Structure formats: C-alpha cells, structure tokens
Structure 1
Amino acid sequence: MNVIKAFFLAAVLLLTSSRSHAERWVVMTLEWPPFTCSRCPENGAAAKALKDTLNKAGVSVEFVFYPWTQTQKKAEQPDVIGYFPSWKDVLPGFTRSEPLFKSPLGFIQQRSKPLVWSKLPDLKGKKLGITEGYSNTTEFNRLVKEKVLTVEPVQSDDTNVRRVALGQIDGALMDINNARYLISKAHSQYAGRVSVNQRILEDKELYFAFNSHNRDKAAKLKKALENVNYQRMVDDYLLKYLLRND
C-alpha cells in the first residue's frame, strides 16, 4: 500500500512539474559577464533574473551562446523567441520588451595614461576600441561619423581589454560592470595595466528583443515583470558574485 501511495505521489509531482513549465523559450545570447555567461553561476545576473521571472509564469528558459553579431542573426529563427540582453535600439523586425534593468556605459583606460575628459569631443585624437554590433550612444556614434572620434571595432570586449592593456589603443567603450568583471576575474593578469574611467557616459537600459514570430510573447514577460524587481535581482547577484571581491 505504501509503495502504491509513493508511486501515485511521484506521478502527481511529475505531472505538476510538467504543467508548471508547459512553455519553453529558446533565447539567443552572448558571453557578456556578469550579465550572461555560460561559465558564470546560473548563467549570470541578467540570465538568472530572466529565468526566475519567467519561471513564476510557467516558462522555462534555455540560453544559447554565440558571438554578438551571430546571436542577433540566429535570433530570427522561428523556434527562437529572440535575443537578450539588448540596448534600446533592437534590430529591424524585432520588438523590445519593457526596460528590465540598467547598467552604466563608460570607458576603460590604461592605468598609466588615464583618459581625461568632461565631454566626448575632448577625446579627439585618442584611439578608442568599440565592439562590433553594439549601439553605443547617439552622440558617440555621431562624433564617430563626423570623424571627431577615432574608433577601432573588434569582435569582443575581451579583445578591447587586452588591447588597452598592451597599449595598442588608448581606451575602449564598454559596459562598466562587464569591464569590472573582465579586468578583475576573466583577465586579472591585466588588472595592473587597465582601469575603469570614473566618468560615466550613460546609464543604459537593457531589454529583451522578441523576433517577428514571437512578438506576442512580450505580453507574457510584461505580466511576469509586475511581480518582481528585476533591477534588484541583478544588483543582488552582482553584490554576491562580483562586487564583494573587488
């Protein structure tokens, strides 16, 4: 009798579990620690927050990692919900979610030759690294187009950290939390050569980008966000895994 009861209970629990996660989202993302990262605890701060938020709405999330430009391209597939995270300017054909959280954008620099500026044109004559596919800011992009600022695009933020450390460029435009992670953890050998500039260019809002096949899913995420403080979840993760050791 006890065996029968145990079997029945297990079957009920299995059925309940399958119903509670009846929907599965495949999401394209990039290696952008500490926010999304295949090697970070629970895939990073923003990834964990998204999983926890959607889990309460009965949705499980599977992240697939690619370099940024490939992440965006592969996110167009019908069996993929979209790409995450994204700054405000999503690709044509994609629909952005409500703002999920914010993170500051600024520069990394050579410790021995810090960048001195109060407005962007002050950086004229400096060689600055950027990462391909990132939207950056309207003013920054305008100054690049007008050839006031000199930039050298690369494929990854890691490359920009290395190039600054080796003195190949004067600085690089990066998300500040991403920069702190890379300098203090992923590339700690460069910590004595690279630092974060104290001036913040902009606090950037981060979004989820839904493709044209799944833009209706935005309503489900919006509903789920009503019951959570996404920024606090991200900040709590950063405090636990990143800032406490800085």
Structure 2
Amino acid sequence: MLSRFYYFMVLVFSSLAAADSTYQETWEITSLEAPPYASSKMENGGDAIALLRDTLAKKSINLEVEYLPWQNAIKKAQLTGYLGYYPAWPSEMMPGFVASPTILNSQLAVITTQSNPQDFENLEQLFNEHKVGVVEPYIYPGVVEKVIQSYADSIVQTANDEELFHLLQTKQINFAITAPKVLNYFAEQQNLSEPKIVTQFTDSPLVIGIRNDAENKAKIALLNDLFTDAKPSATNYSRPKKLLLTYIDIPRVAPFKALMSDVYNDLNIKVQMQATPSRRGVLLLNAGIVDGDIVRSQSNMRKFENIIVVEPSLGVINLVLLCRKALPCDRDNLYNPNNRIMSSIGDIEILNEFDIKAEIIHNEDLSHTLTMLKKGRVDYALYPALNNDITTFKKDFSVIVLRQMAINTVIHKKHAPLVDEISKAITARLPELTQRINNDSKD
C-alpha cells in the first residue's frame, strides 16, 4: 500500500514539474482596463492579451500581465524586468521605447447612442456644435489627434473608456471618439443597446511599447520574427453606393462640383458634398472620415499619406496676393513685418520659399477673406484664383500672381480601387469642365 502511495506521489510531482517546464521563460508587461482588448475582469485577460499570450506560448514563453491605469502602466513599464506596455498605438511610444510589429488592428470611430436622433450628414457641424468625448491619457493616432486638436473647443476629456461610455449614456456628451468594440462591451455588460458608428477612421495598429535596452534586445528580435511576417486577413474592397466629399466654399467652385457629380454618376456612385474650411477638410480626409475632396492644389496634398491625388489635373490655379486698391502692391509686401496678410495655412505652406516676414492672420473660410478685404478690415490677402478670376478680382483689388499650381480631385487611399475608373471618367468630361468655367465667368 505504501509503495502504491509513493508511486502516486511521484506521478503527481512529475506532472507538476512537467507543467512548470512547459515554459522556458516568463515575460512581464503592463496593460490597462480596456475591454475587450485588455481586462483583468475577462477570463482570457482580454482578446489582445490572449492573442499575444497564445503566440508567445508557442515559443514556450509565459506572459504575465499587470493591469493599471494607462499612465501608470506606461510609467511602470520603464522598470527593469518589464518588456513594456500593451496594447498601444504607435503614436503612444514614449522616449526609450520602440514599437513592436503590429499585433492586431483596432477600429477607431466617432460614436453616438442609438437614441440620438440628430442628422450626422454634416461632419463640420457635428464637431463644431456638439460635445465630443475622448480619453485624456491616450495619445491618439496622428490623423485622429489632428482632428481632435482642430475642434478643441468641442472636446471633453475623460479619464478612461468606462467614464466615456457613462457620459455618452447620460447625455453629458453627444459623441465619442474611441474603439467601437470597447463601448459595445460596456453596453453588453449593462444590457443596453450598442452605440452606433457615425463615421469611422482608418484602422490603427496595436503594438507593444517595448523598453529599448539590452535586456530586451533578444525579445525584440523574437517579436519581429513572430509578427513581422504575419499577413493580415485579406479584405475585399466593397464598392460604395455613396461617397462624402468636401469642398472649399469659394467663388467658381460650382463647375468643379458639377464635374465630379457627373464623374461619380458615371460610376453609379452617389455623392454628398459638404462645404468645409480648407484645413479641416484635409484633416478629415486624411483621417478617413470623409471619402474625398472636390478640388485641391496638387502640391499641397503630396505630404498627406492617406490622400491619393487623382490624375488628370483639372486645370491650373494661381496663388495671388490681393491688395486694397489704395495701397502699393508687389511682392515686397510679403517681407514687410508691419503688414498684416490674411491667408489659409495651406497657402502659407505653399509659399514657404518666400520667407514671408509679414504678420499672417490665419483664416480657413476663404469666402470670408474676400468680405474682410472688401470692407477694409484687412489690407492684404493670399487667395487661390482661376485665370478667369484674376480679371474679376482686378475690378476691386490689385492682384499679384505669386505661384501657379496644378489642381486635382483627391480621394482617400481606402478607395484606391476606384482611382483608374475616376481618372477615365474625368478625362472623358474635361472639355465640359472648361465650358462650365467659361460660362460661370460670364454670369
């Protein structure tokens, strides 16, 4: 009997030893409460955590996770013994940390409640006239952060996603910018209706913020091997039935709106057009929450990674200096620090080689610029003008042409499969555009 008991105990301890030896090493990370991606309350620790843990287990690596408020998690990950913090966006890499390859992708969207009856067709109005909640400790991806900064007066900061959900449900905010899955999780836990997506940003990668030192050098190499070659699941492009296009509300934009309406109609795609201040329109497009813009200067668009300039060009636009008639008007006005010149940010960037010394009054509402100039509120302005416009402007102002630029329609890169079709349709209809511009100038 004793020998049987001894044999049984040997088996038990042998099994325990075998279980312990399954893992050859243990990695430690910090994380946050952001279910379903990461949560100490979920059986699997969160879906993003589970994916990382399961992948490391294949290499006999155990993963230990410490859940903390996000800023505390980042701070603690600086200590010796920690791999880093996860899940994070690449925009959240702190000094001394490097981003791992993408572990998985997350959605980001503008979200509201199912009960919100408001019309969301006008995004400019949405951001300008309503409270929009964000999570203050997060450093959102660059394109999203720029949209948030552009509408800073409407933004409400919260401590975490759970507070964000509470403010949305109690109508203390009208909209939220976050991952839909997170708010859906809280809604399910409380037996509430899932919030609805108003518009979606481009998906953002989730990575590990890895402490970049000798201790983690081998781990970084292994993570690169494990995830760099991982191919994201292929997604088929779904041809849209409707696109949202922005445009700058300036004189002579009507022929371009008519052209692009016809072009997309040729492709059996309906379009909704929305006037948006110059800079904000580009930020919304680069973030992927609008689909395209009617017409933009080609040189201004090249620096935006998510925007495709569609050929052929729709023509040429002049960037001109407009001066009140009673004042001297030449390029020297740009270099006089006593002069005040009204301009959009984009136009100033185009003229960066001019080394402008005059005081710049930033204004993205270009129709307002002409009004201010006519009323004598400003003496000088930079303004985009078609060749036909210059003759008209000379009736009221002195005009100096500073640069000429090609203009094109632009579209978000998520619609890249449409580019060839759009190009062919534009080419076929370009003669109509010329006729429309000429007719518009006679009116």
Give 1 or 2 for the bigger CA radius of gyration.
Answer: 2
CA distance in 2, matches of 1:215, 1:166: 45
Would the alpha carbon gap of residues 134 and 97 (structure 1) be closer, same or farther in structure 2, given more than 3 Å must change? same
Would the alpha carbon gap of residues 120 and 10 (structure 1) be closer, same or farther in structure 2, given more than 3 Å must change? farther
Asked whether 1:104 is paired with 2:107, we answer: yes
> CA shift at 1:4, angstroms?
7.0
* Deviates most, 220-229 or 98-107: 220-229
Gaps of 5+ in 1: 233-246
1:77 is aligned with what amino acid? L
> CA shift at 1:99, angstroms?
0.6
**Match of residue 240 from structure 1:** none
Q: Secondary structure at the match of 1:197?
A: strand
CA distance in 2, matches of 1:165, 1:146: 25
CA distance in 2, matches of 1:208, 1:33: 17
**Which of 161, 169, 184 is equivalent to 2:165?**
161
> CA shift at 1:12, angstroms?
5.2
The alignment's C-alpha RMSD in Å is 2.9
CA distance in 2, matches of 1:68, 1:147: 24
Q: Which runs of 4+ in 1 moved over 6 A?
A: 1-5, 226-232
CA distance in 2, matches of 1:180, 1:33: 9
> CA shift at 1:6, angstroms?
5.8
> CA shift at 1:130, angstroms?
0.7
Aligned-pair identity in percent equals 21
1:209 is aligned with what amino acid? G
Would the alpha carbon gap of residues 115 and 66 (structure 1) be closer, same or farther in structure 2, given more than 3 Å must change? farther
Higher relative contact order (CA 8 A, sep 6+): 1
> CA shift at 1:148, angstroms?
5.7
* Deviates most, 113-122 or 43-52: 113-122
Contact 1:103 1:176 in 2 (8 A): no
**Match of residue 61 from structure 2:** 59
CA distance in 2, matches of 1:50, 1:32: 16
**Which of 127, 130, 149 is equivalent to 2:131?**
127
**Match of residue 212 from structure 1:** 212
CA distance in 1, matches of 2:198, 2:232: 26
1:196 is aligned with what amino acid? K
The number of aligned residues is 228
> CA shift at 1:86, angstroms?
0.7
Q: 1:160-179 alignment to 2 at 5 Å?
A: 160-179=164-183
> CA shift at 1:81, angstroms?
1.2
> CA shift at 1:141, angstroms?
2.2
Q: Secondary structure at the match of 2:50?
A: helix
**Which of 67, 85, 88 is equivalent to 2:87?**
85
Would the alpha carbon gap of residues 126 and 47 (structure 1) be closer, same or farther in structure 2, given more than 3 Å must change? same
Q: Secondary structure at the match of 2:207?
A: strand
CA distance in 1, matches of 2:50, 2:9: 33
CA distance in 2, matches of 1:25, 1:115: 49
CA distance in 2, matches of 1:67, 1:231: 32
Q: 1:1-246 alignment to 2 at 5 Å?
A: 13-89=15-91, 90-110=93-113, 111-114=115-118, 116-117=120-121, 122-147=126-151, 150-185=154-189, 187-188=190-191, 191-192=192-193, 195-213=195-213, 214-216=215-217, 217-225=219-227
CA distance in 1, matches of 2:222, 2:122: 42
Gaps of 5+ in 2: 235-443
CA displacement, residues 9-55 of structure 1 (integer Å, 9 cap, x when unaligned):
55654444434312111110011111111111211211111111111
CA distance in 2, matches of 1:118, 1:207: 33
CA displacement, residues 200-246 of structure 1 (integer Å, 9 cap, x when unaligned):
112111111111344411212233347977879xxxxxxxxxxxxxx
Contact 2:90 2:141 in 1 (8 A): no
CA distance in 2, matches of 1:48, 1:169: 33
CA distance in 2, matches of 1:141, 1:117: 22
Q: Secondary structure at the match of 1:141?
A: helix
* Deviates most, 221-230 or 69-78: 221-230
Contact 1:180 1:196 in 2 (8 A): no
**TM-score under structure 1 length normalisation:** 0.80
Q: Secondary structure at the match of 1:20?
A: coil
1:96 is aligned with what amino acid? A
Would the alpha carbon gap of residues 230 and 31 (structure 1) be closer, same or farther in structure 2, given more than 3 Å must change? farther
